C-alpha cells in the first residue's frame, strides 16, 4: 500500500477545486445542464476518494496511536470521532 502523503492529498483537493471552477464557468456560459451534472458527479466521486484516503491516513496514524496507547480517554475520543463521522454521513 502506497503512503498517503500530505502533498498527494493537497494535490487532489486542488484538482477538485479546479473542477469546481469549471462548473461555475459552465453555469455562467449556460452549458447543457446534463453536462454540468456529469461534472458535479465526477467531483462527488473525487471527494469520496479524497475522504477515503483521509480516513485511511487517519486510521493508520491517529487512531492506531490512540488504540495502542495507554490513555483510555484518547481511545474513546478517536472511536467517538469515527462514529460521529459515519453517523453524519448516514444522515446526508
Question: Is-contact 35 26, C-beta < 8 A?
Answer: yes
- Phi/psi region, residue 27 (left: phi>0; alpha: psi -120 to 50; beta: rest), is alpha
pLDDT at 74: 93
Query: pLDDT-based confidence at 84, cuts 50/70/90?
Result: very high
**Cα(91)–Cα(83) distance, rounded to whole angstroms?**
12
The residue with greater pLDDT, 2 or 88, is: 88
Tens of pLDDT, residues 13-60: 999 999 999 999 999 999 999 999 999 999 999 999 999 999 999 999
Which three-class secondary structure state does DSSP give residue 71?
A: coil
Full set of structural domains in the chain with CATH: 6-91 (1.20.58.1000)
pLDDT at 1: 58
pLDDT at 25: 98
Amino acid at each position: 500500500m502506497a503512503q498517503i502523503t500530505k502533498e498527494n492529498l493537497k494535490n487532489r483537493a486542488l484538482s477538485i477545486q479546479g473542477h469546481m471552477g469549471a462548473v461555475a464557468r459552465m453555469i455562467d456560459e449556460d452549458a447543457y445542464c446534463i453536462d454540468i451534472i456529469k461534472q458535479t458527479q465526477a467531483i462527488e466521486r473525487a471527494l469520496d476518494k479524497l475522504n477515503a484516503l483521509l480516513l485511511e491516513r487517519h486510521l493508520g496514524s491517529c487512531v492506531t496511536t490512540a488504540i495502542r496507547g495507554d490513555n483510555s480517554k484518547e481511545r474513546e475520543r478517536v472511536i467517538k470521532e469515527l462514529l460521529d463521522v459515519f453517523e453524519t454521513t448516514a444522515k446526508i
